[in-house]
Structures are given as C-alpha cells and as structure tokens.
C-alpha cells in the first residue's frame, strides 16, 4: 500500500470521526444541517492534522430547582400552570382566586430586589447622591455578568431604577453596601421589614437574590407586592420599559426583564422577575384584569418563557369568568 494511499485513508478516518463527534464539538454549535457537519469535519481534520488538542464540550444536566427536588412539579392544577408554586389574589377583597403550593418556602432569586427597593425607597436617602461600583459589588456567587464596570459612577436613583427594571445585580448590591450602617445593617432591615409585614416564611441574606438562601413563599410575596404597590417609585421603576444611563463617556441602554410591560393587553402596576437555577423562573406582578386589581405570584416555573405563559393563562381565565361586580370567582386549590 502506497504512502499516499495510507495518508488518504487516514484523512478519511479522521473526517468520519469528526462527523461522529459533531453533537459535542464546541465551534459547530452555531451552525445547522449538512453544511455545518462539513465545516466542522474540516476544522477537526485540520486540528488533528496539525497535532492540536481539540476541545470537546461535555453535556452537563441542568441543576434541578428546589421545587423539583421537593417533588412540587408533579402537582397538577386546574389551569395547567408550569410554576410549582402560584397564588392569585384579588387585591381589593383579599379573596384567593387560585393557589398552588402557596406556603412552600423556595428560593426567590431576583424577586429579592423588590424588598431591596422598598427598604431603599422608604429610607428617603438622597437619590441624586453619586455611588461608585466597586469590586465588592462583583458577583462571586453565580459569576453573572454586568455592564456596570468597577469604577462606574451612578446616582442612587439610577441604581435603584436599574435594579428594579433590568434586575442589575451590581446596582442592587451597591445600594445595600452604601446604605447607612453598611451591608449587614441593610440586610437586617430587609428581614425586619419582612417580619413587620407578617412574612413569617421569608429570609434574606443579601440584596440581589443571587443566593439561594434568600427564600420566601408565594403567600408572603403576595404581601410584599401589595405593600410595594403603595410606593410610587417602585411602581414607576418596575414597569419602566427601558432606561438610558450615562456611565463615563458611554450611554448604556437597559431594558425591562419582563416583556409583558410592553404588551398592550396588560395593565401592569408593579412587577419583578427572577431566576437562578435553584429557584427556577419566578414572577410577581400587580395587574388590572377585567376591571379587577389582581396580585399574581409564580415561583419555580420550568422553561424560560413559562412564567409569562402562566401569567397569560391566569389572565385569560379571569377574563373568561362571568363575575358580577364585587364578587370573586374561586377555583379549588391544586391537588396532587
């Protein structure tokens, strides 16, 4: 067998191996179809031919949420919600329209920032005071990214706006860090406020929600939403579609993390989203539906858009109810 023929066979073998490895080759992921396979195969052949080590992406299963570990996702409900815990309350009458595991204590992710904003707003601190983002504000819990660089200077009001609207973690942390008395005092005030409101199942350890030790129940969070709704600053900032801030010589555009605020079918008075893997997708909001002011809480929803879909299911259900003025329709609690 000639040397040329051997080399050809070797190249064919490497190409076949490349195609077999296609599902886990890192730089093949953005492309689709036959063309992607050919491109990836050529790249792997080149890498092997050059004697280079080729990186293989390992497929790591998603970390289960606390709700999944507790078996809450197996519970069925009348509205077929994807959230493992949910609560819908008529804000005017306090009537519970829908409940599902509403007392389950779960991580709440960035829903935390609603309490952060409430404590800052009620303190009546100067909103025009300049605050500098420091290394202390960088996330070492989940290593999340931020467009607010260390050294950036913004007013307290801008930080509060970004924390509530676009769930900016460094902004929220800076608000707690620079609070009179420091971060420890701020977190203590968050817990004291929760206790004062009767949120007996709620605990905060930091102001961003990045820690899974920030925990609450749907029942407690409905209480928080009801209180936060009385604050005009929180209503404005949480429902703002977008906001621009000047950081040094740059102008940065931030947008709301909740697409429903731009949806003409919704009349939202206050809202907040949240997500970490331990908490799943979370959403709380106050909205006017079919002439009624409702508070809705959705915790530990599986799937990126599932919390929005759950809110839409509730809205359609409420709109379909032939409810006389002043009377609340009630459906049974979810059952296993």
Active-site residue set: 110, 113, 167
In 3D space, the residue among 273, 275, 222 whose CA is nearest the CA of residue 109 turns out to be 275
Residues 6+ away with beta carbon under 8 Å from 169? 110, 137, 139, 144, 146, 208, 209, 210
User: If phi over 0 gives left and psi between -120 and 50 gives alpha, with beta otherwise, what is residue 71?
Assistant: left
Cα 80 to Cα 25, 101, 251, 265, 309, distances in angstroms: 38, 14, 43, 21, 10
At 277, is the secondary structure helix, strand, or coil?
coil
202, 215 Cβ separation under 8 angstroms: yes
In 3D space, the residue among 186, 181, 31, 47 whose CA is nearest the CA of residue 117 turns out to be 186
**Tokens 């490349």 -> residue:** 18
In 3D space, the residue among 164, 107, 94, 115 whose CA is nearest the CA of residue 141 turns out to be 107
CA dist., res. 280 & res. 51, Å (int): 43
Tokens of 219: 């029942």
């Amino acid at each position: 067998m000639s040397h040329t023929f051997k080399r050809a066979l070797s190249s064919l073998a490497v190409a076949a191996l490349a195609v077999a490895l296609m599902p886990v080759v890192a730089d093949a992921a953005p492309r689709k179809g036959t063309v992607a396979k050919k491109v990836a195969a050529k790249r792997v052949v080149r890498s092997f031919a050059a004697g280079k080590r080729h990186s293989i992406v390992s497929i790591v299963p998603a970390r289960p949420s606390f709700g999944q570990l507790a078996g809450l996702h197996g519970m069925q409900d009348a509205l077929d919600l994807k959230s493992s815990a949910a609560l819908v309350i008529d804000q005017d009458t306090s009537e519970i329209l829908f409940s599902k595991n509403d007392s389950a204590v779960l991580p709440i992710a960035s829903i935390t920032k609603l309490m952060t904003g409430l404590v800052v707003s009620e303190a009546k601190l100067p909103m025009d005071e300049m605050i500098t983002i420091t290394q202390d504000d960088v996330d070492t819990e989940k290593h999340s990214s931020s467009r607010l660089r260390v050294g950036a200077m913004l007013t307290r009001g801008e930080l509060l706006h970004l924390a509530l609207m676009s769930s900016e973690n460094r902004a929220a942390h800076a608000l707690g860090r620079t609070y009179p008395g420091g971060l420890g005092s701020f977190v203590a005030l968050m817990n004291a406020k929760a206790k004062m409101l009767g949120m007996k199942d709620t605990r905060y350890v930091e102001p961003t929600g990045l820690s899974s030790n920030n925990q609450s129940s749907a029942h407690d969070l409905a209480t928080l939403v009801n209180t936060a709704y009385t604050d005009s600053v929180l209503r404005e900032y949480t429902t703002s579609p977008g906001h621009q801030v000047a950081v040094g010589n740059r102008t940065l555009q931030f947008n709301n993390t909740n697409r429903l605020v731009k949806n003409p079918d919704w009349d939202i008075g206050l809202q907040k989203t949240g997500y970490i893997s331990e908490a799943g997708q979370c959403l709380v909001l106050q909205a006017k539906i079919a002439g009624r002011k409702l508070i809705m809480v959705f915790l530990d929803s599986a799937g990126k858009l599932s919390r929005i879909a759950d809110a839409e299911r509730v809205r359609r259900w409420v709109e379909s109810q032939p409810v006389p003025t002043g009377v609340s329709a009630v459906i049974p609690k979810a059952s296993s």
